[in-house]
């Protein structure tokens, strides 16, 4: 493994010295420069010295009492040194700081106090990834699905949307995060592994391990099946961000079925999603619940990413679509017709309605897939990054 050059930015003198000892102790990296202040502008002398060092890795220590200045520095450094990887160091007890650091462009978030092993593992991940994709390739998009209340149709939408994306564009993965996973039943698959295996192994996850946890559907869709024992999965935020980071470097589209799951994990997935589809029906209880879910997911800054899907849609005299939008507090994106027989027998047989091409319901899900990817062709997705807001 070639030696990596590292620049350390830490305002705390002791921490700067400790980090230098740890970096040099990994024996796969060496410190080429240290900074005691954060760069605040491209023309800053600090920035010029960092650029002159041209490091492989920028190690940024995030002060507990002043993280905004570190976030701005990460953004600036990513802009000015696009070929250097940023590793942020900070406290794991502040999930919002972790998400902000990843969004600002940090590739890794390492816990403070840091150990040589933590750093070594991060350096190895970086060189492995660089070897695989000489240049950072295009990243995929995440669409997550959540229901207003159980039985609204989240799993039905997630499975058929994933199949529609796979058939139109390929390279699609379906991730089942539901409290009890049903997607394998919908697809008539018998997975050997599921999300619990993946989350238990997040600390050592790499792309080949990830691939081994996936189950392939006949048309090419890759499923990370859901849990079959109702138990809370509580991976750390950083581990979860890493899993999704890996998923979007592997797949063009990642569809997540959250069903009724409402916790830190589903909020985090909403944070990294291009669009969060909230599936509700047009009855009072469903729309009331949709408003509550919207509020819960919106609290972490996801409100503008939320879209309403009205399932089992039927025209109700005196009740308009804008009434539904107002009641739920979410903009309507799509309507799925009420087709109880077709959908329930498709689930029972494990043969999703998307496979019955030319039917109204299959056209509806193809249309949803097209709508969600409308701008992708002209954007060409090349410079798109999951953790940069678009
Ligand atoms: N568009 C629809 N028309 C009629 N019935 C539907 C429709 N979508 C879903 N269903 C029925 O609702 C049930 C619950 O759907 P499911 O996707 O499991 O919901 P959730 O994941 O939100 O709990 C399914 O068993 C299916 O029979
Ligand atoms: Mg479900």
Ligand 1, residues at Cβ distance < 6 Å: 147, 150-156, 182, 259, 279, 311-312, 336, 338-340, 343-344, 347
% of the chain residues with pLDDT over 90: 68
Residue 237 is predicted with a pLDDT of 66
Angle made by CA atoms 289, 177, 241, in degrees to the nearest 5: 110
Q: Counting atoms of ligand 1 from 1, which one is nearest the CA of 311? A: 1
Give one word for 380, left, alpha or beta, with left for phi > 0 and alpha for psi -120 to 50.
left
Quick: pLDDT tens for 53-68. 999 999 999 999 999 9
**pLDDT score of 378 more than 50:** no
Q: Where does 141-379 sit in CATH, by number?
A: 3.40.50.300
Q: Give the chain's count of helices (H) and strands (E).
A: 16, 13
Quick: pLDDT tens for 6-45. 999 999 999 999 999 999 988 788 999 999 999 999 999 9
Beta strand pairing call for 141-147 and 57-61: unpaired
Which residue lies with its CA nearest to atom 19 of ligand 1? 153
Name the band, by pLDDT with cuts 50, 70 and 90, for residue 381: very low
Q: Does residue 268 or residue 178 have the better pLDDT?
A: 178
Q: Counting atoms of ligand 1 from 1, which one is nearest the CA of 156? A: 17
Q: Counting atoms of ligand 1 from 1, which one is nearest the CA of 279? A: 22
Structure tokens at 223: 């499923």
Q: Are 264 and 240 contacting, i.e. CB atoms less than 8 angstroms apart?
A: no
DSSP 76-113: HHHHH-TTSEEEEEE-TT-HHHHHHHHHHT-SEEEESS
Place of tokens 């890759």: 222
Q: Would you report the helix, strand and coil content of the chain in percent, each value rounded to 5?
A: 45, 20, 35
Three-class secondary structure of residue 307 per DSSP: strand
**pLDDT score of 223 more than 70:** yes
Residues 6+ apart with CB under 8 A from 147: 153, 154, 258, 259, 260, 278, 279, 280, 293
Which residue lies with its CA nearest to atom 9 of ligand 1? 153
**pLDDT score of 345 more than 50:** yes
Q: Are 197 and 176 contacting, i.e. CB atoms less than 8 angstroms apart?
A: no
Which residue lies with its CA nearest to atom 6 of ligand 1? 340
Three-class secondary structure of residue 130 per DSSP: helix
Question: Can you tell me the distance from the alpha carbon of 311 to that of 282, in angstroms, rounded to the nearest whole number?
Answer: 8
DSSP 193-238: --HHHHHHTGGG--HHHHHHH-EE-TTS-EEEPPPSS-------HH
Find the range with the poorest average confidence among 124-138, 310-324, 363-377.
124-138
Rounded to the nearest angstrom, the distance between the alpha carbon of 9 and the centre of ligand 2 is: 46
Which residue lies with its CA nearest to atom 25 of ligand 1? 344
**pLDDT score of 162 more than 70:** yes
Name the band, by pLDDT with cuts 50, 70 and 90, for residue 132: low
Same fold, 4-132 and 141-379: yes
Residue 238 is predicted with a pLDDT of 66
Domain boundaries, the chain: 4-132, 141-379
**pLDDT score of 2 more than 70:** no
| 207 burial level (CB within 10 Å; 0-12, 13-18, 19+) | middle
Topology classification of domain 4-132? Rossmann fold (3.40.50)
Quick: pLDDT tens for 81-94. 998 999 999 998 88
Rounded to the nearest angstrom, the distance between the alpha carbon of 339 and the centre of ligand 1 is: 9
Rounded to the nearest angstrom, the distance between the alpha carbon of 206 and the centre of ligand 1 is: 35
Q: How many CA atoms, within 13 angstroms, populate the side-chain half-sphere of residue 286?
A: 21
**pLDDT score of 387 more than 50:** no
Question: Can you tell me the distance from the alpha carbon of 263 to that of 178, in angstroms, rounded to the nearest whole number?
Answer: 11
Rounded to the nearest angstrom, the distance between the alpha carbon of 57 and the centre of ligand 2 is: 42
Those residues whose beta carbon sits under 5 angstroms from the ion ligand 2 are 155, 178, 259
Q: How many residues does the chain have?
A: 390
């Amino acid at each position: 493994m070639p030696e990596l050059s590292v620049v350390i930015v830490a305002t705390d003198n002791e921490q700067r010295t400790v980090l230098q000892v740890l970096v040099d102790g990994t024996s796969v990296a060496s410190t080429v420069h240290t900074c005691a202040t954060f760069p605040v502008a491209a023309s800053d002398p600090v920035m010029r010295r960092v650029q002159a060092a041209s490091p492989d890795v920028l190690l940024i220590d995030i002060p507990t009492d002043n993280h905004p200045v570190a976030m701005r520095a990460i953004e600036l450094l990513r802009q000015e040194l696009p070929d250097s990887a940023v590793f942020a160091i900070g406290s794991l007890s502040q999930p919002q700081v972790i998400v902000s650091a990843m969004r600002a462009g940090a590739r890794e978030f390492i816990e403070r106090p840091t150990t040589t092993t933590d750093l070594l593992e991060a350096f190895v991940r970086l060189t492995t990834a660089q070897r695989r994709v000489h240049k950072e390739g295009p990243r995929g998009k995440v669409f997550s699905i959540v229901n207003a209340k159980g039985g609204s149709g989240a799993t039905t939408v997630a499975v058929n949307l994933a199949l529609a994306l796979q058939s139109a564009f390929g390279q699609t993965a379906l991730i089942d995060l539901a409290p009890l996973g049903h997607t394998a039943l919908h697809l008539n698959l018998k997975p050997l592994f599921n999300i619990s295996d993946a989350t238990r192994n997040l600390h050592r996850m790499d792309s080949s391990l990830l691939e081994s946890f996936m189950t392939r559907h006949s048309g090419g869709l890759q499923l990370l099946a859901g849990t079959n024992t109702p138990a809370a999965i509580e991976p750390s935020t950083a581990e979860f961000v890493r899993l999704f980071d890996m998923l979007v470097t592997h797949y063009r589209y990642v569809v997540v079925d959250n069903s009724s799951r409402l916790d830190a994990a589903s909020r985090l997935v909403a944070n990294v999603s291009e669009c969060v589809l909230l599936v509700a029906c047009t009855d009072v209880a469903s729309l009331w619940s949709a408003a509550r879910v919207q509020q819960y997911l919106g609290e972490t800054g996801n409100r503008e990413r939320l879209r309403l899907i009205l399932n089992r849609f039927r025209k109700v005299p005196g009740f308009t679509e804008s009434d539904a939008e107002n009641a739920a507090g979410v903009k309507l994106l799509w309507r799925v017709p009420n087709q109880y027989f077709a959908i329930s027998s498709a689930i029972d047989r494990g043969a999703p309605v998307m496979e019955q091409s030319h039917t109204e319901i299959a056209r509806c899900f193809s249309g949803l897939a097209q709508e969600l990817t409308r701008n992708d062709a002209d954007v060409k997705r090349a410079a798109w990054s999951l953790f940069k807001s678009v």
